[in-house]
Amino acid sequence: MSATPVRVALLGCGSVGSQVVRLLREQSADLEARVGAPVELVGVAVRRLDARREVEVPEGLLTTDAAGLVASGVDVVVEVIGGIEPARSLILSALEHGASVVTANKALLAEDGATLFAAADKAGRDLYFEASVAGAIPILRPLRESLAGDRVRRVLGIVNGTTNFILDKMDTSGAGFTEALEEAQALGYAEADPTADVEGFDAAAKAAILASLAFHTRVVATDVHREGISEVSAADVASARQMGSVVKLLAICDLVEGPDGPAVSARVHPAMIPRSHPLASVREAYNAVFVESDAAGQLMFYGPGAGGSPTASAVLGDLVTVARNRLQDVRGVGESTYADLGVLPMGATTTRYHVAIDVEDKAGVLAAVAQEFAKQDVSIQTVRQQGRGEDAQLVVVSHRATDEALSATVAALREMSEVREVTSVMRVEGDSE
Ligand SMILES: NC(=O)C1=CN([C@@H]2O[C@H](COP(=O)(O)OP(=O)(O)OC[C@H]3O[C@@H](n4cnc5c(N)ncnc54)[C@H](O)[C@@H]3O)[C@@H](O)[C@H]2O)C=CC1
Ligand SMILES: N[C@@H](CC=O)C(=O)O
Ligand code: NA
C-alpha cells in the first residue's frame, strides 16, 4: 500500500509558481521516491482564473480563494506570490492551520521575518526559504547548517541578477544606464517597474537575510545601508576600467567590533572591484556569494540567481525537506538569533573611496586636494592626473577610513574653488588596502 500523499498548496502561479507546477509534474516519481510518499499538488491559488500561464494547470486545481486553500488542511503551503500582503497573512494562516511553509519571499522575510518565525515556532512547523536569496544557489542551507560550527566573519556577494546584467552591459559595450536597463527589460530580466532591483531594495532584503543567518542575529531590511545603481554613469564605469576595475552592485555583511562589542555592518552599494577579483568575472544575470569564516577560510557560491526555473529548483529542494520532516514528524533547523548583535551605522563603517575630480591645472591644486583628505584624517593610496589644462582630472583612491570621514572629504572637495566638478565617487572593495 502506498504511503499517504503529502498534500501541497501553491500560492501564486507566475514566473516561479508555474515552474514549481512543471517540476512537481515532471519529477513526480522521483519526488515520491525521495520523500517516501507521493507529493500531490492539491490546489493553486491565482489572482485570475483566465490569466495566460507558462504552464497548464488542471482547471480543478485553480482557485482565487487563497485563504480558503491554506485553511483546507494541506500539509505544505508554497508561497510564491511575493510582496508583504496578502503573503504574510496567508503564511501565518497556513502555519496556524498546521501546514509547513516554503517561500521565496525575501521582501517579507526581511521586513517581518520575526513574526513569521515566531508563528512557525508556535505551530511547531517548518518555514524554509532557500529560494529567497540568490535563486538556485544553495547559500542559506550552507550558512544555517554546514557552517553552524564555524564563525562567519563576512558575506560578500552579487545577489541581484538584473543590476549585474545592466552593469555588465555598461562595462562591455560602453552603454549608458538607461540603454542597458532597456536591454535588461527587453530580455525579461528586469520588471516593467524595475525600482526594487535598480535601487537596491531587492539586494538589501537579501543582505538582511544573509546577515541574520551568518551572524545568528536579527537584521531587517532597514538595517542595511542601501544605494542602487541608477546614479552609476558611463564615466564611472570608464574610470573603473582605467583602474583595471569593474563596477558591481555588492551586498556586504561583516561581523565587526563596534563601540559596544561585536556588531553587524550590512550594506548594499555599487563598488569598484579589481578585474582579478573572482566577483569581477560574474557576468550577465548570474549571482555569486563569498563567505569568509574562521575555520573554513574563503568559500564561493556561484550560479543563476534569478529566473523561474532556477528559483523553482530551490523551492523544490525545500519542499522535499519539509515533506520528509513531516513524514518523520520532526522539524528542521529553525531561526537562530541568540547573538543579538547591534548594527553599526554606515558612517562608522570603514570603506575606501575612488574620487575623480575635474580641477584647474595649476601649481598647488594637488596639494590643496590632498589637504582636504588630510583634514578628515583620510590617507591617500594613489593619485593620478589625467588630461591637461581644461581637461585636467585628478583620480584619488583612499585607504580605508570611516564612511563619515570620506563623505565629509567629498563634500569639502565640492566646495573648493580649484575644483570644477567631482565627477565620480565610488567605493572600492576587494583590493589590498
Ligand atoms: N523571478 C525570480 O527570478 C525570483 C523570484 N523570487 C521571489 O519569488 C516570488 C514570486 O516571484 P515571481 O514568480 O517572479 O513573481 P510573479 O509576479 O511572476 O508571480 C506572482 C504571481 O502571484 C499572483 N498573485 C498575486 N496576488 C495573488 C493572490 N492574492 N492570490 C494568488 N495569486 C496572487 C500574481 O498574479 C502572479 O501571477 C517573489 O517573492 C519573488 O521575490 C525569488 C527569487 C528569484
Ligand atoms: N529580481 C531578482 C530576482 C530574484 O531574486 C534579480 O534580478 O536578481
Ligand atoms: Na538560494
List the beta strands (DSSP E) in 239-386: 245-258, 261-274, 286-293, 297-304, 342-343, 350-359, 380-386
In Å, what is the CA distance from 94 to each residue of 60, 118, 123, 323? 21, 13, 10, 15
59 alpha carbon – ligand 3 mean position (Å): 31
Q: Which atom of ligand 2 is nearest to the CA of 134?
A: 5
User: What is the CATH code of the structural domain delimited by 140-305?
Assistant: 3.30.360.10
Active-site annotation, residues: 206
Tens-digit pLDDT string for the chain (433 aa): 468 999 999 999 999 999 999 999 999 999 999 999 999 999 999 999 999 999 999 889 999 999 999 999 999 999 999 999 999 999 999 999 999 999 999 999 999 999 999 999 999 999 999 999 999 999 999 999 999 999 999 999 999 999 999 999 999 998 889 999 998 888 777 777 899 999 999 999 999 999 999 999 999 999 999 999 999 998 899 989 988 999 999 999 999 998 889 999 999 999 999 999 999 999 999 999 999 999 999 999 999 998 899 999 999 999 999 999 999 999 998 889 999 999 999 999 999 999 999 998 888 999 999 999 999 999 999 999 888 877 789 999 999 999 999 999 999 999 999 999 999 999 999 876 5
Q: What is the pLDDT of residue 134?
A: 96
In Å, what is the CA distance from 285 to each residue of 69, 89, 106, 250? 35, 32, 18, 14
Q: What is the pLDDT of residue 391?
A: 77
Among all bound ligands, the one having the nearest atom to the CA of 129 is 3
Q: Where do the domains of the chain lie?
A: 6-135+309-328, 140-305, 349-428
Among all bound ligands, the one having the nearest atom to the CA of 210 is 3
Q: What is the pLDDT of residue 135?
A: 94
Residues with CB under 6 A from ligand 2: 135, 160-162, 197, 202, 305-306
8 Å CB contact between 229 and 163: yes
- CA dist 238 and 218 (Å) reads 38
Q: Name residues whose C-beta falls within 8 Å of residue 54's C-beta, 6 or more positions apart in sequence.
A: 15, 18, 19, 22, 308
Q: Which one of 3.50.50.60, 3.30.420.40, 2.40.50.180, 3.30.70.260 gives the CATH number of domain 349-428?
A: 3.30.70.260
User: What is the CATH code of the structural domain delimited by 6-135+309-328?
Assistant: 3.40.50.720
Q: What is the pLDDT of residue 414?
A: 97
Please indicate whether the domains covering 6-135+309-328 and 349-428 agree at the CATH topology level: no
- CA dist 195 and 229 (Å) reads 10
Q: Name residues whose C-beta falls within 8 Å of residue 349's C-beta, 6 or more positions apart in sequence.
A: 225, 254, 256, 265, 267, 402, 403
